Amino acid sequence: DTGVSQDPRHKITKRGQNVTFRCDPISEHNRLYWYRQTLGQGPEFLTYFQNEAQLEKSRLLSDRFSAERPKGSFSTLEIQRTEQGDSAMYLCASSLASGNTEAFFGQGTRLTVV
Amino acid sequence: GESVGLHLPTLSVQEGDNSIINCAYSNSASDYFIWYKQESGKGPQFIIDIRSNMDKRQGQRVTVLLNKTVKHLSLQIAATQPGDSAVYFCAETPFGATNKLIFGTGTLLAVQP
């Protein structure tokens, strides 16, 4: 499978715990994005990497959230001290770096904070 | 609240009919637009895109129309099939925003056999 891969697909955690999600983009794609989607809504932009550089972060990304892409390939999104409001689908997407081109999404990680 | 968000606009069509899904976008400076299809429990799937220097683009069974004057985007699906049942989102990229997508409210397409 040469698409965007996310792991895990589902995560249930207790409030206050830390969680980490992984995204493996399409191999030749320089750009990687994280989005969050709640039920019935469209995805909302969280952050964006070009290669290993994190170039933009949304105001939605509180201090409890951190994303990395250390070698410009896979990326991780960590949420510290999870809250019930963090429950959502976390989507990763990747695209080529040449101008505006289509972004391809992974299947997402469904987080439930209990 | 979240319960309001569950009430997506819904388009119900008969199998074989043509479908038209509409979207109003927000930023007059947006220069790139994409339609995505999302099935339950899955990530958004790219359908078709259009740049702001065009007003129409066709793909396989799908056509996207762009009206910049009224900031309106539509997706036409010909000969709708049960497999087309999903939530459809339009997304825009403001000029210079390097592919950051701003998604609109989705539309649930329900195809009746």
Question: In whole angstroms, what is the distance from residue A6 CA to residue A92 CA?
Answer: 7
Question: Is the Cβ of B45 closer than 8 Å to some Cβ of chain A?
Answer: yes
Q: B11 at the A interface (CB within 8 A)?
A: no
Instruction: Tell me which of B36, B73, B101 to substitute to probe the interface with A (most A C-beta atoms closer than 10 Å).
Output: B101
Which residues in chain B have Cβ-Cβ distances shorter than 8 Å to A48? 98-100
pLDDT at position B4, please? 35
Q: Using one digit for the tens of pLDDT, what is the confidence trace for A91-107?
A: 999 998 766 678 899 99
The verdict on a CB contact (< 8 Å) between A103 and B106 is: no
Report yes or no: A57 and A49 within 8 Å, Cβ to Cβ: no
Strand, coil or helix: what is B50?
strand
Mean pLDDT of B1-8: 47
Instruction: Determine how many CB atoms are found less than 10 A away from the CB of residue A94.
Output: 24
| B32-46: average pLDDT | 93
Burial pattern A21-58, b for ≥16 Cβ within 10 A else e, equals bebbbbeebebbbbbbbeebbbbbbbbbbbeeebeeeb
Cα–Cα distance, B19 to A70 (Å, whole number) = 44
Q: What percent of chain A has pLDDT over 70?
A: 96
Contacts of A108 in chain B (CB under 8 A): 42-43
Q: Give the three-class secondary structure for A55.
A: strand
Encode A79-90 in three state secondary structure.
ECCCCHHHCEEE
A112 touches B: beta carbon within 8 Å? no
CA distance B17 to chain A (A): 26
pLDDT digits (tens, 9 = 90+) for B7-24: 689 999 999 999 999 999
Q: Residue A25, preceding bond cis, omega within 30 degrees?
A: no
Whose structure tokens read 């959502």? A88
Alpha-carbon gap, residue A19 to A16, rounded angstroms: 10
Mean pLDDT of the region B84-100: 84
**Mean pLDDT, rounded, for B76-99:** 88
